[in-house]
Amino acid sequence: MISYINRDELVHTKLVVDVLNSFIKENPNLSNYVGEFAKEFFEVIVNKEIEWSEYILKNEEDIDMIEMKEYIKYRANKCLSMMGITPLYDDISDNPMPWIRAFSEENINDSKSDFFEQKPRTYTKINDDNGFDDL
* Secondary structure element (H or E) that encloses residue 76, with its range: helix 65-82
Q: Cα(126)–Cα(134) distance, rounded to whole angstroms? A: 9
- At residue 41, the pLDDT reads 93
The number of folded domains in the chain is 1
- Which residue range forms the structural domain that includes residue 88? 2-134
Residue 135 has pLDDT above 50, yes or no: no
CATH code, 111: 1.10.620.20
Q: What's the pTM?
A: 0.69
43-102 pLDDT tens trace: 999 999 999 999 999 888 888 899 999 999 999 999 899 888 999 999 998 888 887 765
Residue pair 4/113 in contact (Cβ under 8 Å)? The answer is yes
